[in-house]
Structure 1
Amino acid sequence: MDRAKSTLEQWRIIQAVVDYGGYAQAAEKLNKSQSSLNHAVAKLQFQLGVQLLEVKGRKAYLTECGEVLLRRSRHITQSVNELELLANNLETGWEPTLTIAREIIYPMDDLVDVLSQFYPLSRGTRITIIDTVLTGTSELIIDEAVDIAICGGPPPKGHLAEPLVDINFNLVCHPEHPLAQFEVIEDDQTLAQHLQIVIKDTALGPNTDLGWLKAEQRWTVTNFHEAVVILKKGMGFCWIPEDIVHSLIEGGQLKKLNLKGSSKRKATLSMVIPNRDKQGPASELIESLIKTHHQIDSI
């Protein structure tokens, strides 16, 4: 195998000379002598047989060839930096990847707010977010297939949960749907005569139906945004989180239904750490940020 003609250190030096506007400035930033930087760049150009920099006055400028090579060198040095960081993370127990299960009724805005705080401290940890529904969330917790889970309803047996937030649901349909003509829907039988839009449970194994599912006519979709598309076409009714449909109700695109004795429903979302013994520092940091976001005191 042929040996490389250049070193990472040489490319880092030339990057510094360009980024800081000259040899003197780069020498100060790198805490090296200006002559050592001049020597390193001159040697690199000699080894490659290509002029990378030309000095005009007191400032160094890239040649056309220098621009192409410097751009490529940044990818290489960045990759090496990430590799070294990953090695350090593995040595200290910092997780290189994390998977979060998010019950789809948990507002994505809240999770993004948390992860935006985590990102500058993440040390390159890659995050995977899995949208889950009902017993699908519990299944992932039981299988320890995720690092953090935000679930609706009680956690699986043997797992502790930290309550985070209550999510209110509205019963809605299109303003011209037959159900919209009722000021108050007196009983379940009236609903049962119409098409219900429901969200598919993401569990892989057998699951039990949760929620009001008495309608004989039922369409199942994978998320609430698909359900809203159907509702806006004048088809069916659905229980949907208030934060998703509030503006649509205010804008007259959907109608909130009043069901006697159950005009509004609520679900409590909780955070579960499937395996505390295996939890690493990155997961602990996200857990702490989620608690802070929801104004929960950490013990």
Structure 2
Amino acid sequence: MVVYRPKTTLEQWRILQAVVDYGGYAQAASALNKSQSSLNHAVSKLQNMLNVQLLEVVGRKAVLTQAGEVMLRRSRDLTLNVQSLEQLAVNINQDWEPEIILCVDLAYPREALFPVLAEFLPMSRGSRIKIIDTVLTGSTEAVTSREADLVILIDTPRGYLGEALCHIEFVLVCHPDHELASLTQPLSTNTLSQYLQIVIKDTSETPDEKTGWLKSEHRWTVSQFDTAIDLLLQKVGFCWLPKHKVTDLIADKNLVHLQVEGSAFKQFTAFLVCPSPEQKGPGTALLSQLFLQHREIDLPSFDSSQNN
């Protein structure tokens, strides 16, 4: 394998940037605490090595050539990437995670997710965030496998603790022109079993059939709630969906809420779980704190004086 050996150095590119940014060799030399002759030599050597003229003197000022503008723009990306790489090394030495894996159940409202991530960004120190959508058993496995740093899921697996973030209601819906909408309400489970149900695919490779929502023998499986909604809008099937996903569609009479015997709706609680709290890094801890600050649930208050 042929190893490429760069002809230029980062220092030469930084000097070129300084000459342009400060408006000339003298000003750049003062800012960098270097001699003007050393800056002239560095830029001259850079141009000779590339066989491209980057600067030309107009009057008493060095200005970029057309080629120089292109090369300078690309050089800024180069030096910025090196700076980010060096900062990443500092973060690693300070135990700041280079990557945080966040698994989020599809039922969790994205309207609650995005503000947290937006607030985290300026404090993230360059840490990458990997967001993985999970459903049902797949959400549980994200915790038990301990491959994720944080998991938002419905209910918590045995042996793990979680912080409640919000309540999520599921409602049964179909198109207003679907036959189910014209039947006497509430509907029995036997009636529902005669119609096509749209279900969301469990992201686990070994799904637990005991989990999930009401199922019909005749069902189609999709991977996203949005796909299920698209099918419903085409008058295909019925589906249990998070209320926040269909509130506007119901209000606009594009979908209808079906009443079911013994279950007008199903309510669940979304929890934030750190699968390996003993290994929680500072980035994960900060992101977890932000989720708790943004949570949309009323926590019970305890008066310690009542125990006295």
TM (normalized to structure 2)?
0.86
Deviating more after overlay: 54-63 vs 137-146: 54-63
String of CA shifts for 1:47-84, please: whole Å, max 9, x gaps: 54543112335654211231232233223222322221
Letter in 2 for 1:130: I
TM (normalized to structure 1)?
0.88
Deviating more after overlay: 178-187 vs 156-165: 178-187
String of CA shifts for 1:241-289, please: whole Å, max 9, x gaps: 1111112112222111122442222110000000011111111111111
Computed over aligned residues only, the root mean square deviation of the Cα atoms, in angstroms, reads 2.6
Could you list the runs of 5+ residues in structure 1 that have no partner in the other structure? none
Question: Displacement of 1:191 after TM fit?
Answer: 1.7
* Mapping of residues 203-242 of structure 1, within 5 Å: 203-242=204-243
Specify the alignment match of 1:257 in structure 2. Answer: 258
SS in structure 2 at match of 1:113: helix
Could you list the runs of 5+ residues in structure 2 that have no partner in the other structure? 300-308
Letter in 2 for 1:52: L
SS in structure 2 at match of 1:184: coil
Specify the alignment match of 2:12 in structure 1. Answer: 10
Contact 1:198 1:221 in 2 (8 A): yes
Cα distance in 1 for residues equivalent to 2:33 and 2:168: 58
Deviating more after overlay: 107-116 vs 52-61: 52-61
Specify the alignment match of 1:187 in structure 2. Answer: 188
Distance 1:201 1:17, change over 3 A: same
Deviating more after overlay: 164-173 vs 42-51: 42-51
* Mapping of residues 66-85 of structure 1, within 5 Å: 66-85=68-87
SS in structure 2 at match of 1:193: coil
Cα distance in 2 for residues equivalent to 1:77 and 1:26: 17
* Mapping of residues 1-299 of structure 1, within 5 Å: 4-23=6-25, 26=28, 30-32=31-33, 35=36, 37-38=39-40, 40-46=42-48, 48-57=50-59, 59-153=61-155, 155-182=156-183, 184-294=185-295
Question: Displacement of 1:189 after TM fit?
Answer: 2.1
Number of matched pairs? 295
Cα distance in 2 for residues equivalent to 1:121 and 1:63: 38
Percent identity of the aligned residues?
A: 49
Distance 1:250 1:295, change over 3 A: closer
Contact 2:144 2:157 in 1 (8 A): yes
SS in structure 2 at match of 1:51: coil
Cα distance in 2 for residues equivalent to 1:226 and 1:62: 53
Cα distance in 2 for residues equivalent to 1:77 and 1:49: 21
Cα distance in 1 for residues equivalent to 2:52 and 2:217: 76
Deviating more after overlay: 137-146 vs 33-42: 33-42
Deviating more after overlay: 221-230 vs 35-44: 35-44
Letter in 2 for 1:68: V
Deviating more after overlay: 52-61 vs 106-115: 52-61
